[in-house]
């Protein structure tokens, strides 16, 4: 099952600057070979459900390993069985207002 | 790794009434033997990371199988390494304002 | 316009324990006279759109005033024009699987 | 109070294709003169709290007016009092891993 995800990992108890931890998650996604795109309030990811959610688990493990005692993450996850759709397709559909 | 999750599964393309699909997810969680609590805008779940996210995947599979061509799900996921915490602990902490 | 909201306010930069700040938000909601129900990963609120979102703004102001330099909040907001629905109605619909 | 928001509006009861409604929200944001950036699972917005949340309310009103009987929206909202930060700053911080 293919999934498109929006991921926002927030480490708690490490002070006000969190970009080191978000950058670590970017590394996890790159190492996993997953298509992903950083934006100002999260990261979009597309891929096989199991691969994507395994990577999200690794994000939590790696952010804890960097010293964050607590993490709260927000995930949006979209699946569809009617047709294939990439992250770019979703953007194009809105831009062209044709989907 | 233990996780506390807030799960909100929204089937798209099945009309305005979605409770049949949400009820199916409740069944999935019960069958998985996971501690869970329905509220007005989602369901709280606690358990082992892999068991919880396997159940969430099954929710998508079962809701698609019921006829929903598209699903968008919102998940909040919290982990902590400093101490154990249950869903009830979180509620108690706020109520007693002591955490 | 009536809205049902799920609100989860997360203060950043105040250490690992956040319940003092969540408890402050409960006070804001009570002072606003809004129907609300705390759960393990947020608070459900129902009311007029403007009153609910004014209260959410006050939550941010009050949590900053308590000393949190940064806040990230997750909100789910549901509106419908086909019929009136309360938070309890939503829970009943799933429990009875009839909506 | 300045806010950075991630907005994802999902119309329910209008079939499987929702991009017409998302495109309407883009128009609302443009008409409001708010800085915003569409991504594959939502739209980032920055601006004054009241202006941003007024625009989000207008999104709900306009999507209902287009025929959607039910809407569920997910919002992430970030505020900070320690320093000013734009959407681009957030992306740069992660990319440079310096915040």
Please write the tens of the pLDDT for every residue from D22-39. 999 999 999 999 999 999
- On whether the pTM is more than 0.90, the answer is yes
Q: Quote ipTM for the complex.
A: 0.95
Q: Within chain D, what is the greatest distance between any pair of CA atoms?
A: 46
pLDDT band of C97, cuts 50, 70, 90: confident
Question: Looking at residue A97, what is its pLDDT?
Answer: 82
Q: Between C10, C13, C69, which is nearest A72 by CB?
A: C10
The region that residue D67 occupies, defined by phi over 0 for left and psi between -120 and 50 for alpha, beta otherwise, is left
Closest-CA residue of A relative to C15 is A13
Q: Between D10, D15, D69, which is nearest B10 by CB?
A: D10
Q: Between B4, B19, B41, which is nearest C78 by CB?
A: B41
The answer to whether D76 contacts C72, with C-beta atoms less than 8 Å apart, is yes
Look at residue A65 and tell me whether its pLDDT is greater than 60.
yes
pLDDT band of C98, cuts 50, 70, 90: very low
Look at residue D97 and tell me whether its pLDDT is greater than 90.
no
pLDDT above 70 coverage of chain A, percent: 98
d(Cα A87, Cα A70) in Å, to the nearest integer?
30
Three-state SS annotation for chain C:
CEEEEEEEEEEECCCCCCHHHHHHHHHHHHHCCCEEEEECCEEEEEEEHHHHHHHHHHHHHHHHHCCCCEEEEEEEEEEECCCCCCHHHHHHHHHHCCC
Residues of C with CB under 8 A from a CB of D: 1, 13, 49-50, 53, 57, 60-61, 64, 69-82
The answer to whether D10 contacts B13, with C-beta atoms less than 8 Å apart, is no
CB atoms within 10 A of CB B90: 22
d(Cα A31, Cα C20) in Å, to the nearest integer?
38
d(Cα D12, Cα D71) in Å, to the nearest integer?
6
Mean pLDDT of chain D: 96
Residues of C with CB under 8 A from a CB of A: 10, 12-13, 15-16, 18, 69-70, 72, 74
Measure in Å the smallest separation between the Cα of C79 and chain B Cα atoms. 12
Q: Closest Cα to residue A8, out of D70, D5, B63?
A: D5
CB within 8 A of D98, min separation 6: which ones? A19
pLDDT digits (tens, 9 = 90+) for C19-73: 999 999 999 999 999 999 999 999 999 999 999 999 999 999 999 999 999 999 9
Chains interfacing with C (3 or more CB pairs < 8 Å): A, B, D
């Amino acid at each position: 099952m293919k999934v498109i995800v929006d991921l926002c990992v927030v480490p708690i108890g490490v002070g006000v600057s969190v970009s080191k931890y978000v950058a670590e998650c970017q590394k996890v996604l790159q190492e996993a070979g997953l298509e992903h795109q950083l934006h100002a309030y999260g990261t979009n990811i597309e891929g096989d459900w199991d691969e994507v959610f395994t990577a999200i688990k690794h994000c939590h493990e790696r952010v804890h390993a960097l010293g964050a005692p607590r993490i709260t993450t927000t995930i949006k996850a979209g699946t569809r069985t009617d047709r294939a759709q990439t992250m770019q397709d979703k953007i194009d559909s809105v831009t062209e207002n044709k989907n």
